[in-house]
């Protein structure tokens, strides 16, 4: 069950909290956009942080209102692509929250579009 395929290229466990608890919440719109991004890139999208439970979110310095807590955000990398390029694709597929960091980008589905550099 846990390793269940939830779209063409993603399994549920990829979005689970990285604290080993196996807890996971995932918004269907986030998944749909990530699959679209994967299709556009033609390369695997690596989820470096998906769902976070409140204690794990605190441990990694996440904001108390982080969309990782509700399954509406992921931090991602695409091998061989600069975060700026990944952000460009993320905008194309309709992600509304896009944070660009050194080695990854944050994407989410917030109501009001925002882009930032971390």
Residue ranges that bind Zn ion, judged by CB under 5 A: 75, 106
Residue number with the smallest Cβ distance to Zn ion:
106
Minimum CB distance to Zn ion smaller for 5 or for 86: 86
Q: How far apart are alpha carbons 58 and 66 in whole angstroms?
A: 10
Q: Where are the alpha helices (DSSP H) in the chain?
A: 28-41, 54-59, 83-92
Q: What's the min distance (Å) between Cβ of 36 and Zn ion?
A: 19
Minimal CA–CA distance to 38: which of 7, 2, 73, 82? Answer: 7
**Cβ closest to Zn ion, residue 10 vs residue 42:** 10
Q: Could you tell me the smallest distance in angstroms from the CB atom of residue 61 to Zn ion?
A: 11
């Amino acid at each position: 069950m846990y390793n269940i395929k939830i779209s063409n290229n993603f399994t549920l466990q990829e979005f689970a909290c990285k604290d080993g608890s196996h807890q996971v919440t995932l918004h269907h719109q986030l998944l749909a956009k990530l699959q679209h991004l994967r299709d556009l890139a033609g390369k695997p999208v690596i989820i470096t942080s998906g769902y976070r439970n409140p204690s794990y979110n605190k441990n990694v310095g996440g904001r108390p209102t982080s969309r990782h807590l509700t399954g509406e955000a992921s931090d991602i990398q695409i091998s061989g692509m600069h975060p700026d390029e990944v952000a460009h694709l993320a905008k194309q597929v309709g992600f509304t929250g896009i944070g660009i960091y050194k080695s990854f980008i944050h994407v989410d589905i917030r109501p009001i579009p925002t882009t930032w550099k971390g």
